[in-house]
Homo-oligomer: A and B are copies of this chain.
């Protein structure tokens, strides 16, 4: 057996500790599959004394993570600090500059600086691997970039944030409101103390930007992603979705359109019969549509110490075996420059739920505005009767353009008889 692969791990939080535990627990089979042992030589973390349930005494300790890049005994640097800036970015850049392969779980870094990092990695002929950055333990990066590499993809979509999927699942199963379920998820450790990154869709958008770059062979473009989170999803809309034959999921969707590549993260209504509609709780899923392979769906745990460590170590095994793939699936010079389609140009069907005063003429006002915007109604449903009081009215439309819908919503929201901000959820025919 060849010389061990010696790694340095920066960041010993849940994931970092998980990687060390996995490497120890499955050392024998990992060595067999990697062709040589994978051993941790050096680590860096904020607090040396904290008990993480792993032995650190025999490892070289660095207070400054960036110094790991220069550790002479290290073959591969594993960055598990997180964040698109600061020490994570500095360490990855330093490791590449030092000619050391990098494995990272850092979606923010790849989404924001991935284009520049890929160029640095290519210039230095260094691997930059990030299976753990998207969809946790699901081999989604490998699946898309290698497994489906023969295909021209038309679309990649996914449930990319387990916190949001957990909250939406519990809201539906228990008929409860967002704020209450979020608070419970925080207690259970399924949501962060500051949950904005997850529930406002940023985390999913980072992952979608990465998937879109891989799927369409173009430089990663986080700025182009349209992002909406799940704060405004109500128990009422989830119940009404069910009546209409849909589930509400926070999806990231990247698609090739006549105008270029559209990338968007927002709550969607998906038909109950669609496989992705049944991916519940903390599970993630990625669906890809290829011209030869058709539809492929990959499903599994998208977060947590075990699944994320599984992905990190899969990357390490690839490196130990000498398996290497360009960051975005092709050399930087071979990436295509495809324009991003702005959200205003999105075409699709819409669910619109209004709280209106129950009095004659309201529906005529609303449908008149939709007609003025050339939006064609598919269905209209007024729930219950309460003359002079607020009642929900649900409308679904045929396909129209987002810009038309936004113009219509602005006018509808301004109607005196419309009592709350209209709820708008896009319907996705997955």
Contact = CB atoms under 8 A, between A and B. Distances in A.
Interface of A: 18, 22, 25-26, 29-30, 32-35, 131, 137-139, 142-143, 145-152, 217, 275, 278-279, 290-301, 306-307, 309-311, 313-314, 316-318, 321-326, 329-331, 334
B278 A293 contact: no
A307 B290 CA distance: 9
Contacts of A297: 297-300
Given A296-B137, A298-B298, A324-B323, A318 B146 contact: yes
A296 B299 contact: yes
Closest 7 CB pairs of A and B: A139-B147, A150-B313, A137-B293, A296-B300, A32-B330, A32-B334, A293-B310
B137 A310 contact: no
Most buried by B among A143, A145, A330: A143
23 contacts: A26-B150, A30-B150, A33-B145, A33-B330, A35-B330, A139-B139, A139-B147, A143-B143, A146-B314, A146-B318, A147-B314, A149-B313, A275-B278, A278-B278, A293-B306, A294-B300, A294-B301, A295-B301, A297-B300, A298-B299, A321-B324, A323-B324, A323-B325
Given A148-B310, A298-B298, A323-B324, A29 B143 contact: no
A317 B147 CA distance: 9
Contact of A310 (B290, B314, B334): B290
A406 B81 CA distance: 57
Contacts of A145: 33
B217 A29 contact: yes
B317 A30 contact: no
A26 B151 contact: yes
B147 A291 contact: no
Given A137-B294, A142-B142, A294-B306, 9 more contacts: A139-B142, A143-B298, A146-B314, A278-B278, A291-B306, A292-B309, A294-B300, A294-B307, A299-B299
A72 to B, nearest CB: 27
A32 B216 CA distance: 12
A159 to B, nearest CB: 13
A205 to B, nearest CB: 24
Nearest to A316: B150
Contacts of A330: 29, 32-33, 35
B143 A310 contact: no
A275 B274 CA distance: 12
A380 to B, nearest CB: 31
A33 B146 CA distance: 8
A179 B146 CA distance: 40
Contacts of A149: 30, 33-34, 313-314, 317
A22 B150 contact: yes
B299 A275 contact: yes
B293 A301 contact: yes
Contacts of A292: 18, 22, 25-26, 137, 306-307, 309-310
A417 to B, nearest CB: 43
A147 to B, nearest CB: 3
Nearest to A33: B149
Nearest to A296: B300
Contact of A147 (B143, B279, B301, B306): B143
A278 to B, nearest CB: 6
A337 B115 CA distance: 46
A382 B238 CA distance: 40
A310 B151 contact: yes
A318 B324 CA distance: 9
Contacts of A35: 326, 330-331
